[in-house]
Amino acid sequence: MKIPLVDLKVQYQTIKKEIDKAIFGVIESSQFVLGENLEKFEQEFAKFCEAKYAVGVGNGTDAIYLILRALNIGEGDEVIIPVNTFIATAEPLNMVGAKPVFVDIDPETFNINVNKIEKAITKKTKAVIPVHLYGQSADMTPILKIARKNKLVVIEDAAQAHGARYKGKRVGSIGEVSIFSFFPAKNLGAYGDAGMVVTNKRKIAEKIFALRDHGRREKKKNQYVHRIEGINSRLDEIQAAILRVKLRHLEKWNKARRKHAKTYDLFFKKIDKITVPKIKSVCESVYYMYVIRVKNRDLLRNKLKEVGISTGIHYPIPLHLQPAFKRFGYKKGDFPEAEKAAEEILSLPMYPELTVSQIKFITTSIQKIIEKE
């Protein structure tokens, strides 16, 4: 049985009629950029996040860049981020001349270790970007407290957590401002690139609206008045139309992911050598990834591949050891929990359309492999 890590083709088949209609509707209207679909999607996504404003942008990486610009974070400033995340959390800092300062992870949740944030703060620190990794919220209460005490802005990286909750609140509405990515494989994925900035602060939203569209805000009249220098990073109409369709299914899809996670949990709890993901009692995860810990990870991964089961590693190299960040002078041993996790984590197939028989095949295959070791 062939089982991919995520299966976007099977999802398309379940919503094909709606999607095709949405795409052709845009082509027929021939309003391709900054039209009705984006405006509506921004309202609908803000509502979904239980926040006031949402601003569609080109992708999640741009969303972080635009926020840094809007907050005037730049040359010489430092921003604290977890060391186990996708590189996109860190890259935009270089785009504005700021520097990432990494913090180790909590080995149970894989999210930023809140007890290690204060030690990383210097006079230059301007912000902290907690990442809601694998679909579970970072521990926001202590983060907000530390930020308030040290006058830091909290920027949530919710790229992997559309719909997740922390103490009942939707992620993306907890910090000052947040980002979402609609990369195709995310819980809410476009058919191409797209991203969003979400905030309750009108001033920040207004600034992002202008920055994403060459520094202008008024649409038709004053088309060539540019109040500030911006960039071109707009969420296009075809993607917005697709995302509006998919947003209507998201709660159901996230629920299916949680159900699959529960099935995995129950099975793996019987296997000593496997550590299942720990979800804090104050969190409701949307399981972007289902990540286990296991000692002989690479062996298990290869054997699963042999029987047709794809798995992933998110992420194999912590950011401080990435060749791209060599200039910051970090070395092996600086973040022991993230380094240890990088050797043991394994992401199993996780998508809403997984079937009971697929999950059974995955779990029993893993059991067989582990018992033979």
Ligand X SMILES: *Cc1c(COP(=O)(O)O)cnc(C)c1O
Q: 11, 84, 85, 137: which one contacts ligand X (CB under 6 A)? A: 85
Q: Give the binding range for ligand X (CB under 6 A) out of 27-35, 38-46, 152-160, 350-358.
A: 152-160
Looking at the Cβ atoms of 307 and 317, the one nearer to ligand X is 317
Q: Phi, psi at residue 176, to the nearest 5°?
A: -65, -40
The residue among 37 and 160 lying less far from ligand X, judged by its C-beta, is 160
| Strand (E) or helix (H) holding 337 | helix 336-344
Binding track over 86-125 against ligand X, x by CB under 6 A: x-xx------------------------------------
Region from 54-62, 145-153, 162-170, 331-339 binding ligand X, contact rule CB under 6 A? 54-62
Decide whether 303 or 320 has the Cβ nearer to ligand X.
320
Check the CA dihedral 81-84-85-90 and report its sign.
Answer: positive
**Alpha carbons 25 and 47: distance in angstroms, whole number:** 24
Q: Whose Cβ is closer to ligand X: residue 60's or residue 312's?
A: 60
Q: Is 238 in the site for ligand X (CB under 6 A)?
A: no
Least distance between ligand X and beta carbon 247 (Å): 16
74 touches 97 (CB < 8 A) = yes
Q: Does 135 bind ligand X (CB under 6 A)?
A: no
DSSP E strand boundaries for 137-189: 153-157, 165-166, 169-170, 177-181
- Does residue 65 bind ligand X (CB under 6 A)? no
Nearer to ligand X, 188 or 359 (CB): 188
Q: Which helix (H) or strand (E) holds 29?
A: helix 8-29
247 lies in the site for ligand X, by CB under 6 A: no
Number of helical (H) and strand (E) elements in the chain, helices listed first? 11, 13
CB burial string 214-226: b at 16+ within 10 A, e below:
bebbeeeeeeeee
Hey, what amino acid is at 260? H
The yes or no reply on residue 311 touching ligand X (CB under 6 A) is no
Q: Can residue 312 be called a binding residue for ligand X (CB under 6 A)?
A: no
Under the binding rule (CB under 6 A), the answer on residue 195 touching ligand X is yes
Region class of 34: left (phi > 0), else alpha (psi between -120 and 50), else beta:
left
160 near ligand X, rule: CB under 6 A: yes
The nearest distance, CB 58 to ligand X, in angstroms, is 8
Q: Which residue is nearest to ligand X (CB)?
A: 60
Asked whether position 189 contacts ligand X by CB under 6 A, the answer is no
Site track 248-277 with ligand X (rule: CB under 6 A), x = hit: ------------------------------
Q: Do 253 and 151 touch, CB atoms closer than 8 A? A: no
Q: Judged by CB under 6 A, does residue 325 bind ligand X?
A: no
Minimum distance from CB of 371 to ligand X (Å)? Answer: 34
154 or 359: CB nearest ligand X: 154
- 137-171 CB burial, b ≥16 within 10 A, e <16: bbbbeebbebbeeeebbbbbbbbbbbbbbbeebbb
**């409701």: which residue's tokens?**
284
**Smallest distance from ligand X to CB 108, Å:** 19
In angstroms, what CA-CA distances link 296 with 115, 163, 219, 230, 288? 30, 33, 57, 49, 23
- The span from the CA of 183 to the CA of 193, in Å, is 5
Q: Which is nearer to ligand X, 48 or 110 (CB)?
A: 110
Q: Is 59 in the site for ligand X (CB under 6 A)?
A: yes
57: helix, strand or coil: strand
Interface residue list for ligand X (CB under 6 A): 59-61, 85-86, 88-89, 131, 157, 159-160, 181, 183, 195
